[in-house]
Amino acid sequence: MKIELTTRKKWKNWLAISVFFLLLAYATYAVSSKSVKSVSAASLSFQTVQQGAIDVYSNAYGELISAKERLLTAPALGKVAEILVRPGTKVTPDTVILQLFNPKLEQEVSESRGELAQQQAQREAFKYEQQNERLNYQGRIADIDAEIEKAQLELSVNENLMGLGVASKIELQRAKLAVKQQSNRLAFEKEKFKQFIEMQGYQLTQRNITVSRQESQVALLEKQLDDMQVKAGITGSLQTLEVELGQSVQLGESLAKVGSDDELIARLRLPQQQADQIDINAKVNIDTQKGMITARISRIESVVTNGSVLAEAVLEGKLTSNARPSLAISAQVFVKHQTDALYIPQVAGLRPRSKQSLFIRTNSNTLEQKDISFGELSQGNLIINQGLTLGDEIVSSDTSDYNTFKQLSLTE
């Protein structure tokens, strides 16, 4: 009997201990999850949900670049003999950036000019030769004309004598035949002379083509020689210089780059999430830190690089005093117009395109934690997608110390 009483007592003790721990765990859970913490209302900041039409803009960053750029390349083999302008210098189209030297090119220009002069002299001499040959032909034609006149005179005499019965009929026939032969000869010579004139025209054309080809060669070499003085070509500033004094360069090698200063465009990096919503000609507000410039999107690339898409905007407004190529800028790009949007002014800790748990004032004395879904951030206003209604007040100050509480009680 004593053994049975001892066994029952231990069983009851274990049951009591288990019930105690269950009650303790429940109490801990209740305290941690459903108890109400008191917070002073004066220590918190609130934002009221507003509603209305709002233009959604996307934040973008980038830089100003020259709308007109000109790459300067070597017109021929050469060596950099002189550098006259350094990057950042203002230039005009006739500003000489650097001087290249190539003695072989100078020799080629001289030889080409001599060859041209020789061909031009040969052409002039050929013209005189042709003129002499034409005079020879014309002399033969004149001789034939004289023979015809002589034959016609003899024919006339024989016809008169034949009428008087003095000349024979055979003499008259011979005179007629002589006139006919000389007339045929004259027609033949004139036809030959005509063809000769045409042939001379073709020969002179060939000489002219040869001279023109040589003139083109001379002009090309002279232009190459003139281009050894490398000029800016446009008004702006020298942006880069890629050669050094004494350096040898090859034909077509890059020497420098010149860009316009007054004609600029903006190169922007758009967020990938919003790039497909932005239209060509979308309005852009550019901040240069010294003022705003209005612009329009002119081009959007399709390639995504590091989470952004490259776009270009044409500037429409007046440039600010600090506007220049390579100036870092920030921009607001118009995405869409949204009517009856719910939004609040953006404050620290509230992130666009995110879902966050925030405390909402349910009445004058109570705050309740709710899940809020935020949309885009546009011009300082954060759009609310879900979780709030017009007039709701959210706690905008830091409440991380109270995240374990579902409700907070406000005190004065």
Amino acid making up residue 75: P
Q: Which pLDDT value is given to residue 33?
A: 46
The tokens describing 366, both together, are 């109570």
The tokens describing 316, both together, are 């429409």
Q: Which pLDDT value is given to residue 91?
A: 93
Place of tokens 């509480």: 405
Nearest Cα to Cα of residue 199 among 137, 120, 124, 143: 137
Q: Which pLDDT value is given to residue 21?
A: 64
The tokens describing 361, both together, are 């004032």
Helix (H) / strand (E) containing 122:
helix 103-164
Contact between 243 and 124 under an 8 Å Cβ cutoff? The reply is: no
Contact between 411 and 41 under an 8 Å Cβ cutoff? The reply is: yes
Q: Give the model confidence (pLDDT) of 2-57 as tens digits.
A: 444 444 555 566 666 666 666 665 555 444 444 567 777 777 778 888 888 888 88
pTM of the model: 0.58
- Alpha-carbon distance 255 to 85, whole Å? 12
Q: Give the model confidence (pLDDT) of 316-346 as tens digits.
A: 988 898 888 889 999 989 888 888 888 888 7
Nearest Cα to Cα of residue 359 among 51, 32, 37, 31: 37
Q: Which pLDDT value is given to residue 411?
A: 79
Q: Which pLDDT value is given to residue 335?
A: 86
Nearest Cα to Cα of residue 105 among 205, 224, 206: 224
Largest CA distance in the chain: 201
Segments in the chain below pLDDT 70? 1-36, 154-155, 157-169, 171-172, 175, 412
Q: Which pLDDT value is given to residue 5?
A: 46
**Rounded to 10 degrees, what is the CA torsion of 382, 385, 386, 388?**
40
Q: Which pLDDT value is given to residue 166?
A: 55
What angle, 0 to 180 degrees and rounded to 10, lies between the N-to-C axes of helices 169-227 and 103-164?
A: 170
| Other CB atoms within 10 Å distance of the CB of residue 237 | 19
Place of tokens 């002069």: 117
φ/ψ of residue 318, rounded to 5: -70, 140
